[in-house]
């Protein structure tokens, strides 16, 4: 079981290295799957569904009738909660929509930028040991708001070959246009390269396990990807005002996702740290996903004791977690100290679960330290910026000598001549 230890940069680095070593171990297997799907297409997908999901599929595509039937079968109260979540997610992401711009100058020149939606995107919805309608909403709604006309969802089937009805209902609500029964690295390969049943996409987004995350990294270049979004991570900074039950439950809420999840408490009070350790053991006992959560806590968990809140936050910045909870007396006063975290949860009544499901900000977030340079999934992930330039004859003539001077400074004579030839006979 997890033990309490003194906080240090070495302890944080040790946990980060553990995650990196895990990713390195899966790469050979993922490369093999990618190459196989690229070579054999649908045949490989059917075989992997049988091998990994124990599902004997008749079709990879989910029919419109299956989606409508699933929507009708979902518990009305759950459906109402999903609609509320969808409304909050849409409100938050609608504020992200950007327009193009143009800059007209007195000499008649015009420069500007257009913001264009991608034509076809793939959204990966995790599955397997759990069902994630929330991920369907989080991934497809920003794509719809960006104006993407083709939103292609891939998610693993159950042993009976079906997709959980809440997931299909959420995809319908979010605006997905195609749904396929395929998961894991093989789904990423199908979306990236295309098969007989699945046309390739322009970009792949969505969270997944270590295999999915590795596959996304390996197909980058053939398609775009959103970010490294692998197994879940949470770092909780807590002071002596925190309720140990809250902290333990939040650590376990991430640990139950995946045996590879990371769950770290950085406490500023040794007594609080020990109370959380005891509470973890109590709450683990009898948890429905106890086996998964216990493996995550034992392998990627830590309870560290720092000498002050400021030191704890600096260690959190070093880790750059997917989720950072500030369970302290005055969390808003500390927010500006946070530099590296994908999503920050402020105070005892803002658990990660609130962000996972209902608040509105996206829960597809960078992991593995990528919060140092990557951002949460948003509308911008589904758009492209395209610039344009128009110059009048007089405006170009005025600029031609400068263009040629810079071109020759770079040793590119043809560039210079393309400017000067247009100015011949002028002036």
Residues carrying an active site annotation: 322-323
Nearest by Cα to 236 from 338, 365, 376, 134: 338
What would you report as the CA-atom Rg of the chain, rounded to the nearest whole angstrom? 25
Contact 123, 206 (CB under 8 A): yes
Cβ neighbors of 26 (< 8 A, separation 6 or more) are 210, 211, 214
Contact 157, 3 (CB under 8 A): no
Contact 194, 161 (CB under 8 A): no
Phi, psi of 396 (to 5 degrees): -70, -40
- CB 6: neighbour CB atoms within 10 A? 11
Task: Collapse the DSSP code of 110 into the 3-class scheme (helix H, G, I; strand E, B; otherwise coil) and give the result.
Answer: strand
Phi, psi of 206 (to 5 degrees): 125, 155
Pairing of strands 383-390, 110-117: antiparallel
Nearest by Cα to 11 from 337, 296, 300, 368: 300
Reading the block at residue 405, the tokens are 């001077």
């Amino acid at each position: 079981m997890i033990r309490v230890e003194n906080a240090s940069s070495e302890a944080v680095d040790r946990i980060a290295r553990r995650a990196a070593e895990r990713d390195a171990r899966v790469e050979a297997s993922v490369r093999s799957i990618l190459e196989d799907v690229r070579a054999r297409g649908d045949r490989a997908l059917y075989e992997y569904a049988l091998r990994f999901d124990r599902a004997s599929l008749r079709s990879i595509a989910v029919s419109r009738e299956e989606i409508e039937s699933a929507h009708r079968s979902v518990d009305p109260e759950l459906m109402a909660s999903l609609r509320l979540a969808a409304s909050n997610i849409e409100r938050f992401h609608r504020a992200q929509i950007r327009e193009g711009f143009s800059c007209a100058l007195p000499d008649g020149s015009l420069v500007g930028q257009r913001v264009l939606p991608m034509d076809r995107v793939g959204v990966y919805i995790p599955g397997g040991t759990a069902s994630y309608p929330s991920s369907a909403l989080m991934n497809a709604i920003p794509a719809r708001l960006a104006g993407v006309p083709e939103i292609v969802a891939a998610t693993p089937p159950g042993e009976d070959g079906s997709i959980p009805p809440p997931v299909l209902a959420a995809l319908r609500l979010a605006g997905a246009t195609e749904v396929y029964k395929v998961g894991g690295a093989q789904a990423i390969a199908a979306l990236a390269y295309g098969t007989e049943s699945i046309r390739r996409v322009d970009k792949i987004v969505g969270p997944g396990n270590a295999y999915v995350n590795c596959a996304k990294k390996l197909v980058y270049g053939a398609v775009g990807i959103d970010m490294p979004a692998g197994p879940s991570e949470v770092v909780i900074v807590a002071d002596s005002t925190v309720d140990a039950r809250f902290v333990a439950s939040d650590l376990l809420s991430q640990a139950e996702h995946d045996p590879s999840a990371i769950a770290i408490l950085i406490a500023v009070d040794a007594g609080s740290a020990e109370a959380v350790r005891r509470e973890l053991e109590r709450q683990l006992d009898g948890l429905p996903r106890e086996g998964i959560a216990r493996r995550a806590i034992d392998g990627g968990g830590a309870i560290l004791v720092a000498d002050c809140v400021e030191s704890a936050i600096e260690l959190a910045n070093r880790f750059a977690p997917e989720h950072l909870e500030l369970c302290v007396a005055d969390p808003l006063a500390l927010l500006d100290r946070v530099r590296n975290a994908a999503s920050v949860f402020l105070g005892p009544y803002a658990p990660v679960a609130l962000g996972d499901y209902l608040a509105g900000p996206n829960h597809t977030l960078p992991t593995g330290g990528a919060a140092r340079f990557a951002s949460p999934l948003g509308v911008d992930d589904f758009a492209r910026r395209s610039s344009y330039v128009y110059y009048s004859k007089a405006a170009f003539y005025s600029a031609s000598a400068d263009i040629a001077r810079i071109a020759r400074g770079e040793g590119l004579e043809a560039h210079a001549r393309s400017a000067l030839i247009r100015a011949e006979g002028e002036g």
